[in-house]
Structure 1
């Protein structure tokens, strides 16, 4: 990762208020960092990787599969250095939240202390393809509400990082989440991704208090229509794909 005043990936994440982020995740299923985790020049460098097809294992045209409109690309091995470093640095910070959610929902918590061992478990289960993605949207592009579940083994949290400046490089393109509530209408959230900042969000649900203790609140995420310009984001998924 490029040396900047932000320090190493670990330094950047150490500077975040993780108690506050955990509280927001508990309440809303997502939380935006108050500080950037990538500097502007790093954001530009990561976004520019999109044009280097050799970096990726596959490209998805969303319109073809009726996922929305636009494109995203799955990184291949080896992952670019900033992607690898951020993924490894986020995992141990997210792990206590993942385990806490599993306890409340009375679910197994199969995630070991380090990312490398967890990925070995994924590979042993047939999930061998890297899941971090780089997304590019232009005018009129959007992403339907979905979940990123790529096999039996799932890490319950993931991260998306804005690589362009909203209101300058593009308009629209807000990150969307919906929560399905029991016996009630669904609730929606919209977040503008400030360049370099990371949004941590649930992969599929969050613990919700109920009269009987805790229940799961199913959630999905997507992206609103980009009105003008071009929007790039980096997605960090912590389980690999089949």
Structure 2
């Protein structure tokens, strides 16, 4: 059993489990420890295959999105993604609202360790109001689609003055069945050690909590920032969809 998730008793077989139940059941101390050490932590099977299919199908519904980005035009890689518009689809909104209060206390502890000003409020509604007051009013949850030959360059998702230090990515298709290649990649670098890269193992319905730009790394004099970037390796065959939950909005 994955140590980051506690088993949840089976409920009504006819009703899909609410994603909040898996979020509530996760071992968030283990998540905090792993993200602080490695820059990421996997939460297995937060979404059912049916929920994954529902979200992936949104890609064809243009009315749900505020913009479409073709990565090759901006030298981001190859592939495309779309930013949702407000109001978000109910399932996407629920995931954002349920994950934020679990991560906000960790974000505040990180700011304390790094001696950074500012603390994050308890609810996402409060944090969204702060973003909007600063002119960051465009929603940032996004849906990505990769086809053969597509990839995403290493990057950080920063959209303005107010940056929440975590994001969550959900894999919506099954590796080896729906696509080949297309691994999620994570790199870490800092002035004290040589950089390293890691493949993040994901299955359909899994979520990964990522550090958006850096995480605190311990030293003899306290903590310093270890920079984190993520991307996606080249897809060899099939089609890969992913949902990105970013908590700060964009200007």
Check whether TM > 0.5: yes
The 5-angstrom pairing of residues 82-121 of structure 1 reads: 82-121=91-130
Deviation at 1:11, TM superposition (A): 1.4
Aligned to 2:21: 11
Tell me, yes or no, if the aligned pair for 1:166 and 1:192 is still in contact at 8 Å: no
Deviation at 1:8, TM superposition (A): 2.4
Deviation at 1:6, TM superposition (A): 5.6
- For 1:29, which of 24, 39, 57 is the aligned residue? 39
1:239 matches 2:248: yes
Cα RMSD after superposing both structures: 1.3
Deviation at 1:161, TM superposition (A): 0.2
- Normalised by the length of structure 1, the TM-score is 0.96
- For 2:218, which of 186, 189, 209 is the aligned residue? 209
In 2: Cα distance, 1:4 partner to 1:230 partner? 28
In 2: Cα distance, 1:66 partner to 1:31 partner? 28
Deviation at 1:4, TM superposition (A): 6.4
Runs of 4+ in 1 over 6 A off after TM superposition: none
Q: 1:152 to 1:173 in 2, by over 3 A?
A: same
Q: Which runs of 5+ in 2 are unaligned?
A: 1-12
In 2: Cα distance, 1:130 partner to 1:214 partner? 32
- Normalised by the length of structure 2, the TM-score is 0.92
Deviation at 1:45, TM superposition (A): 0.7
Aligned to 1:145: 154
Deviation at 1:181, TM superposition (A): 2.5
Pick which of 177-186 and 209-218 moved more: 177-186
Q: Which runs of 5+ in 1 are unaligned?
A: none
